[in-house]
Amino acid sequence: MALYELTKDSIGGLQATTFADHGIAERTDLQRLLRLQIEVISPDTLIIGEEFCDWDDSRRRVDLIGIDREANLVVIELKRTEDGGQMELQAIRYAAMISTMRFSDAVAIYRRYLEQFHSSKDAQATILEFLGWEAPNEDTFGQNVRIILVAAEFSKEITTTVLWLNDRDLDIRCVRLRPYALEGRILLDVQQVIPLPEAESYMVQIKKKSEETRQTKRVDRDWDSILSRCQNDAVVALFRQRLEAGQHNRIPKRDLAFSEATGKKGWYVQIQTDAANVNQRGRFNGDLEFWRTKISQPQTVRVREADPDTLVFKLHTAADITAFEQVMDKQANAIELGHIVPEYPAD
């Protein structure tokens, strides 16, 4: 869409031009100016590197690399050309290359960047202040890599690819910089074209809902397969009932983690071919005798030899499962796992 100059007498179109017509270079001009005012294309972003290249192939350089307020890495790829070339493919490659970057790596990169411009800022302190952190947190840093493509125009191939990738949970934005000439001056029209700002919030909600639906279907399929291999109807019934009620579960280990458990202490029930195997992580006084009086095969209650803080036993019958659930639903929150208490809770 063209830009117009509005006066009392007329609406006159501004002359569209190109960066090349005005001798504006991609790296020495456009990249330099955006580095100094990155909020023009990416608000709430801290640039920590320019022409970043920490791999063997020195020809591959990220134009600008930054972090956002949520501690995500940000790859910014610039093109002065009118169609954007193949910038989306380059940016994806760069995003993959930096995806393993740690907080300490980012600090080192930012320190070199600051030294390049003779800045006296402390790299780590500046990043921590930007993120609102009191101390480094490697676990939450760089969990995602966002991509921002910046060009005067984007070809249909690029926009189609970006839309397809975003639909598959990548975070790629296309920002169009279109120059106009007005009385010897250059005006810059900055537009985020993908995703459209008006639809961005809606698209995030749709994407979140779609991902939740995919996760639910995947969970359902996995548990159906696991339950089909169990030959104990009472155990299958336990798992189906708890899963349908939204019980927290861990598919890789075929476990139900009971909601009364906190942290790494609690009761985890694993489905087996003929029984449900219970792991009690954390001990309480008298727990061996407590569980032996509850289940039909008390000989299965034992302390795990390799881990004395874990008690294990098996549930075989419907009565076993009922007794276990009664403890979980009525008594578990009164049991202090990991502590020696005077006596276990009475029935």
Contact 332, 323 (CB under 8 A): no
Instruction: Give mean pLDDT, residues 204-221.
Output: 53
R_g of the chain computed on alpha carbons: 30
> What number of residues does the chain have?
347
Residues 155-198: tens digit of each pLDDT: 888 999 999 998 888 899 999 988 888 888 888 889 998 887 65
Among the ranges given (171-185, 211-225, 331-345), the one the predictor scored with the smallest mean pLDDT: 211-225
Nearest in space to 148 (alpha carbons), one of 205, 208, 63: 63
Residues 298-321: tens digit of each pLDDT: 999 999 887 788 899 999 999 999
Note the pLDDT of residue 197.
Answer: 66
Contact 148, 77 (CB under 8 A): yes
CB atoms within 10 A of CB 40: 14
Nearest in space to 32 (alpha carbons), one of 101, 104, 116, 111: 116
Helical axes 233-244 vs 318-330, angle rounded to 10°: 30
Note the pLDDT of residue 81.
Answer: 65
Q: Is the pLDDT of residue 63 over 80?
A: yes
Beta pairing, strands 73-79 & 276-281: unpaired
Q: How far apart are CA 63 and CA 52, in angstroms?
A: 7
Cβ-based neighbours of 167, under 8 Å, separated by 6 or more: 207
Question: pTM value?
Answer: 0.57
Q: Is the pLDDT of residue 265 over 90?
A: no
Q: Is the pLDDT of residue 17 over 90?
A: no
Contact 343, 285 (CB under 8 A): yes
Q: How far apart are CA 167 and CA 164, in angstroms?
A: 5
Instruction: Give mean pLDDT, residues 215-229.
Output: 66
Contact 34, 24 (CB under 8 A): no
Q: How far apart are CA 47 and CA 63, in angstroms?
A: 11
In degrees and rounded to multiples of 5, residue 110 shows phi and psi of -65, -35
Binned at pLDDT 50, 70 and 90, residue 130 comes out as: very high
Note the pLDDT of residue 18.
Answer: 82
Contact 313, 291 (CB under 8 A): yes
Quote the mean pLDDT of the chain: 83
Of 232 and 257, the structure prediction assigns the larger pLDDT to 232
Residue type, 323: A
Q: How far apart are CA 182 and CA 13, in angstroms?
A: 10
Domains and CATH numbers, the chain: 4-195 (3.40.1350.10), 229-334 (3.90.1150)
Looking at residue 262, the DSSP 8-state letter turns out to be: B
Nearest in space to 163 (alpha carbons), one of 178, 149, 145, 152: 149
Contact 106, 127 (CB under 8 A): yes
